[in-house]
């Protein structure tokens, strides 16, 4: 169903090709089978996203001609991997990618640096481990995120079960994924069964844009739940039993420079649903996005714009109409922090987990820290459950108490010191991938942020604030994959070597920051922030965080923002 603001003459090209080939097959299989082809057509690059694949090129090499490479992203509800699955991913990254794994901001893994001939073997290898990339990207629901910390009570177990149930319930039903990647067969696009295929949830043309679902368990907001299109906030009783969820809708980070119609937004809390209503509610919200999202302007096609334009009251009424029942009123809750647990911690079942810092999310070996090798050897020997976090880190769980010392020693042999995993400022940072692989990047991020953190630590020490925790997030473009608009300090790439600086997010990750400086050279960033750090050190009230101080000081009436 095309929304009322669209018609056949004005819909975007993406809508046209989805309607023409609703199986999402394109000519992907034919191109895979062609040894002379090193890339896919422009239309097929859009279809590839639904299969979890992005066609890219190494931007460091553009002066000598484009070298086409590919990124593959898994769909991994809740970010949980078995030991065997992780070892398969590690092996596939070494054999077909650039020998690194990237933990994403939605609890998944990305493989970078593949060439076309490696796509088929990698996809078959993932399938053999009961893993999938279908719907990791594209105009469908993306990976469902859930709290990464191992359960301390039954609520956590139920939440992860529901995350997996929703992911399965809203997955697209096209046969093209298996046909292309497992059978190597190009679907006959003229076959009526393929030409007229209609997905039972998404319809023939799927969603106007991507859709994101997240679960959170207060008081810890470790998934940034209010940045999702649809969030489920767990509500427990006094005994720790799960009563249900507050349903929040309309969050999202993406925006475009110079386009005031695009903006980041935190979700509105709409009402309360019981656990048995969660899947039905998720499907209903997705269909609202499907039916009312813009098909004519992809930059204004997210669910957040529907709710911003029509209002939360309209959204609730429309959701209740589709559900066939009224939502209960939202229950009281409070988030007081976000972030991951590092080091050793005991689980509710008496076993232990260890949280490991992965700087900018890149699992790789460097001269001083062989993290990729260390993880592989720990997983091979001790068989822990692997949990990926939305903050780009890794947790190893379900570890017997008597194995703690041996794991600590093995990690230490590879330069991974469990007790000293980077500074507090570094552990609170995030960066998107950006250059050299992301085609949208305007500036550096993953490769630049570690050095910037070092310089910012120096500036903080100079003003008497060594060891101060400040959430810092950087992206190479305004799309916001590392959620910079929720950080106490957010850096957003605007041009090569230039960034916007946003200030004022909070520890609970429930408040948007605001633009402070619009076009700052990377060489000037520390100089711009140092006076602010000094003022903060002099004026803060006891226990006040930098984000709260900047919001109080810079957002006050008449203050520049």
Joined tokens for residue 461: 């020490």
Q: Which helix (H) or strand (E) holds 17?
A: helix 13-20
User: What whole-number distance in Å separates Cα of residue 537 and Cα of residue 543?
Assistant: 11
CB atoms under 10 Å from CB of 192, counted, come to 8
Give the helix, strand, coil percentages of the chain, each rounded to 5. 35, 20, 45
Task: Specify the 3-state DSSP secondary structure of 73.
Answer: strand
Q: Would you state the structure tokens that stand for residue 354, as one six-digit string?
A: 């260890």
**Are 111 and 72 contacting, i.e. CB atoms less than 8 angstroms apart?**
yes
Q: Give dist(CA 520, CA 500) in Å, integer.
A: 6
Backbone φ and ψ for 540, nearest 5 degrees, come out as -60, 150
Three-class SS state of 307 = helix
Taking Cα atoms as reference points, which of 52, 39, 48, 59 lies closest to residue 110?
52
Q: For residues 68 and 473, give the distance between their C-alpha atoms in angstroms, rounded to a whole number.
A: 29
Q: How far is 153 from 240, CA to CA, in rounded Å?
A: 7
Q: Are 36 and 53 in contact (CB under 8 A)?
A: no
Residue ranges of the alpha helices (H) in 273-327?
A: 278-292, 303-310, 312-323
The angle that helices 525-539 and 546-554 make with each other, rounded to 10 degrees, is 90
Burial 427-449 (b: 16+ CB within 10 A, else e): bbbbbbbbbbbbeebbbbbbebb
What is the C-alpha separation between 468 and 447, in angstroms, rounded? 23
Cα 499 to the chain's mean position, in Å? Answer: 21
Position of tokens 């100089």? Answer: 527
Query: Which residues does the annotation mark as catalytic?
Result: 73, 142, 210, 212, 432, 438, 477, 481
> Is 273 strand, coil or helix?
strand
């Amino acid at each position: 169903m095309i929304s009322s603001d669209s018609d056949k003459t004005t819909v975007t090209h993406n809508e046209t090709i989805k309607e023409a080939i609703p199986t999402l097959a394109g000519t992907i299989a034919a191109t895979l089978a062609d040894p002379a082809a090193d890339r896919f057509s422009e239309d097929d690059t859009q279809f590839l996203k639904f299969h979890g694949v992005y066609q890219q090129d190494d931007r460091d090499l553009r002066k000598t001609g484009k070298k086409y490479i590919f990124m593959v992203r898994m769909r991994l509800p809740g970010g949980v991997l078995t030991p065997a699955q992780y070892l398969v991913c590690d092996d596939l990254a070494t054999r077909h990618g650039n020998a690194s794994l990237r933990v994403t901001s939605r609890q998944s893994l990305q493989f970078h640096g593949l060439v076309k001939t490696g796509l088929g073997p990698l996809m078959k290898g993932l399938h053999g481990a009961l893993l999938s990339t279908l719907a990791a990207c594209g105009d469908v629901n993306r990976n469902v995120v859930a709290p990464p910390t191992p359960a301390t009570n039954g609520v956590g177990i139920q939440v992860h079960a529901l995350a997996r149930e929703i992911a399965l319930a809203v997955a697209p039903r096209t046969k093209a994924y298996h046909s292309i990647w497992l059978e190597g067969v190009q679907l006959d696009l003229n076959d009526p069964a393929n030409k007229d295929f209609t997905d039972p949830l998404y319809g023939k043309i799927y969603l106007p844009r991507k859709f994101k679902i997240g679960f959170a368990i207060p008081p810890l907001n470790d998934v940034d739940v209010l940045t999702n299109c649809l969030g489920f906030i767990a509500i427990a009783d006094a005994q720790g039993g799960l009563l249900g969820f507050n349903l929040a809708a309309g969050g999202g980070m993406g925006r475009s420079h110079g386009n005031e119609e695009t903006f980041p937004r935190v979700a509105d809390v709409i009402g309360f649903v019981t656990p048995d209503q969660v899947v039905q509610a998720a499907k209903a919200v997705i269909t609202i996005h499907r039916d009312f999202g813009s098909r004519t302007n992809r930059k204004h096609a997210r669910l957040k714009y529907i709710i911003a334009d029509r209002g939360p009251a309209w959204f609730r009424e429309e959701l209740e109409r589709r559900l066939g029942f009224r939502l209960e009123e939202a229950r009281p809750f409070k988030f007081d922090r976000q972030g991951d647990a590092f080091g050793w911690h005991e689980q509710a079942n008496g076993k232990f987990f260890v949280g490991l810092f992965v700087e900018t999310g890149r699992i790789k070996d460097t001269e001083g820290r062989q993290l990729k090798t260390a993880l592989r050897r720990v997983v091979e020997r001790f068989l822990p459950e692997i949990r990926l976090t939305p903050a780009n880190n890794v947790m190893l769980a379900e570890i017997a108490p008597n194995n703690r010392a041996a794991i600590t020693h093995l990690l230490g042999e590879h330069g991974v010191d469990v007790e000293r995993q980077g500074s507090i400022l570094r552990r609170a940072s995030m960066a998107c991938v950006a250059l050299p692989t992301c085609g949208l990047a305007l500036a550096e991020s993953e490769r630049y942020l570690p050095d910037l953190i070092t310089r910012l630590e120096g500036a903080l020490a100079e003003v008497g604030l060594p060891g101060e925790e400040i959430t810092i997030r950087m992206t190479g473009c305004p799309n916001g994959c590392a959620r910079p608009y929720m950080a106490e300090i957010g850096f957003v790439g605007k041009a090569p070597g230039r960034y916007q600086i946003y200030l004022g997010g909070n520890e609970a990750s429930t408040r948007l920051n605001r633009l402070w400086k619009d076009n700052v050279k990377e060489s000037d960033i520390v100089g711009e922030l140092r006076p602010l750090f000094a003022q903060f050190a002099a004026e803060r009230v006891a226990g006040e965080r930098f984000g709260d101080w900047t919001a109080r000081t810079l957002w006050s009436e008449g203050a520049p923002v």
